Structures are given as structure tokens and as C-alpha cells.
Amino acid sequence: MEKLNDTLLYTLDKCFRTYNQFAQRNVRKAGYDITIDQWLILKSVAENPDITQNDISKIVFKDNASITRIIQLLINAGYLIREIHPSDRRRVNLTLTGSGKKITIDVNEIAIQNRTTALKNINEEAVQQMKNLLQQVIENCK
Amino acid sequence: MEKLNDTLLYTLDKCFRTYNQFAQRNVRKAGYDITIDQWLILKSVAENPDITQNDISKIVFKDNASITRIIQLLINAGYLIREIHPSDRRRVNLTLTGSGKKITIDVNEIAIQNRTTALKNINEEAVQQMKNLLQQVIENCK
DNA sequence: CATCAATAATTGATATATCAACAATTATTT
DNA sequence: AAATAATTGTTGATATATCAATTATTGATG
């Protein structure tokens, strides 16, 4: 039987988890009480002011139900406001609060730094090539 | 602010999830009621008969607590037997049952097929290079 | 316009991830 | 040998993932 750690999925999994834990650790260390996943949602609202939760779920590649619950936590934390959308009562209208805006920007700085560290000694071309390969794998799995 | 989907972490995340969902779907479609994560644990027991739960957690890159709970599910499903280790009463002794052995092998076949599909049109050299890059990222995050 | 289909979001159930606290056992130190 | 430290695993609490069922609303069709 093929050894576990020879597979690409294994390395992918390990890399993603290592990166994610590393990034999360640095955010905590800087004193911010937010997860990377929560920040990604704040960021997608910041970048797309009129976005729906459905679209967020596609962007951050998570289930609709997860988005609802994470957003509830972000509201509890005072980073987001949820209202009924004026032109479509099925939708929600998400707005960043002042502290929501601040933490989105602050954590973004840390995220950029994280990326720099994670990609140390890897040239831009190689990163691009890796992205292309990952994209090809994604296509193959559809 | 940098767009979300330009980042490597994003593509990594997406690729891993897509691959995982794809693999999981194929396992279900073949009629097996087991998750990829559960199968990975069965497989690591099959490959390392005297393994501890601590070591499993390192191999599959998960928390100790998660391993305990997943193993409990595998016991409930009749795939694993847990006993006290004869020479160290702190440890557990994990053994695959007959159906545990069978499903480990069966799902392995599907996993090999999944990998082939996922890596279609990607040559061996590129896969190896991607693994190396991912490994480099892992090192950078330590 | 009444009905049916589609869409947006929520909720429930179960599995898993993570951290911290804990219990049991074994190893080490003095 | 007794005290202390280290190791192995479990449990509790909370967050998240996933699927299915449900509600509310809007859109489409006859």
C-alpha cells in the first residue's frame, strides 16, 4: 500500500494547515482576537460593499450555514452590522463598524507580512507556477 | 487593499477543499460510509501496527483530541478495536477488524483513482516541483 | 392574480478542530 | 523509595464544516 505522506493531498493539507496556523499565531501575537476565517469575511465585505452572504460563501469557499454563524460571531464582537436589504427583503445588508474597518486593515498588514515570510526564498515565478498547477488540479476535480 | 483571491493561501485552501470534496464524493458514490479523514486514520494504523494516537495525530496533522473522537466513531462503526497496550498502560492498542481492513483497502483503490484524475494533464516532474515548493512554504512557516 | 419555482438566509444535527484542564501511568531525580 | 516531571490519552467548551430541512421573499408562468 502506498505510503501516506507520498501523496500530493497530504502535502497540500499539511502546507495549508501549517500556513494557516502560522498566520493565526501571528494575528493573536499582535493582540487581535479574530480568526483568519473571520477576517476573510470582513475583508470580502470591505471589498464588496453590497455583497450577499451567498457570494461570500463562494468567495471564501465555505458553506452557507458556516457563513451565517461566523457572521453572527462578528456581529457579537462588534465588527459587523446586519440589516435587511432595502431592495430585497430576503437579503441581508452587511456593514463594517468602525472597529470592524480598523481590524480588517490591521490584520491585512499582518497577512501581508505572513505571506512574505511564507514565501521567503521562493521566487515570484515559482509562486505563479504553483498557483497555475493548483488551478489545474481544481479544474480536474470538477 | 490586495484582492482576496490573489493570495497563495487562498488558492491552496481552494485546491485542498476542492480535492477533498471531490475525493469524498467519490468514496460515497462507491457506497462507503466513511470520511477521508477517518480512512486516513485506518490507513495509518494499517501501515504502522503498533502506532500510538499521538503519532497518528502527527501523521495526519490533527489535534490529539480530534483523533480520540474520530477513533471512537471508527470503533462505533466496527472498523477498529481499542485495548490497553500490554507494555504501557497509558497507551492504547489499536487493531483493525476484518471490515476495517477491507474498507481501508477498498477506499485506497478509490483514493488512487482520485489522485490520477486530480493530476490529469500534469506531468510527474511538475507534481514533484509543487511538492518541493509546498515543503519550502512549510519550512518557512516554522 | 394565483400558483409554482427560484433565491437568500437560517436552523438542526452531527462531525471535526482547537485549546485548556485533567487523569492515569511511567520515567526521572534526589 | 518518595517526590517530581514527562507522557498518553480523555473530556469540556466553543468554533467551524457539512448536509438537509425550513422560512421568507421574490420571480416567473399560466
Q: Are A19 and B141 in contact (CB under 8 A)?
A: yes
- What pLDDT is stored for residue B3 in this prediction? 54
Helix locations, chain A, DSSP H: 8-29, 36-47, 53-59, 64-76, 98-118, 124-140
- What pLDDT is stored for residue B100 in this prediction? 96
- What pLDDT is stored for residue B12 in this prediction? 87
Over residues B17-31, the mean pLDDT reads: 90
- What pLDDT is stored for residue B11 in this prediction? 86
Helix (H) or strand (E) holding B93, with range, is: strand B92-96
- Give the residue among B37, B19, B20, B21 at the shortest CA–CA distance from A133: B19
DSSP 8-class letter at B44: H
Q: Which nucleotides of C are covered by protein (CB under 7 A)?
A: 7-13, 15-20, 24-27
The DSSP bridge partners found for residue A96 are A80
Q: Which nucleotide is nearest to A69 (CA to C1')?
A: D16
Q: Which residues of chain A have pLDDT under 70?
A: 1-6
Q: Give all domains of chain B, ordered by start, each with its CATH number.
A: 4-140 (1.10.10.10)
Per residue in B104-131, pLDDT (tens digit) is 999 999 999 999 999 999 988 988 988 8
Site of grid cell 481501508:
B104
- Give the residue among A135, A140, A141 at the shortest CA–CA distance from B25: A141
State, as a whole number of angstroms, the distance between the CA of A65 and the C1' of C13: 13
Q: Classify the phi-psi angles of A115: left when phi > 0, otherwise alpha if psi is within -120 to 50, otherwise beta.
A: alpha
Interface contact B140-A119, CB threshold 8 A: yes
Q: What CA–CA distance (Å, rounded) separates A107 from B134? A: 24
Task: Tell me the chain B residues in contact with residue A138 when contact means C-beta distances shorter than 8 Å.
Answer: 14-15, 18-19
Q: What CA–CA distance (Å, rounded) separates A114 from A117? A: 5
Q: Beta-strand (E) ranges in chain A?
A: 80-84, 92-96
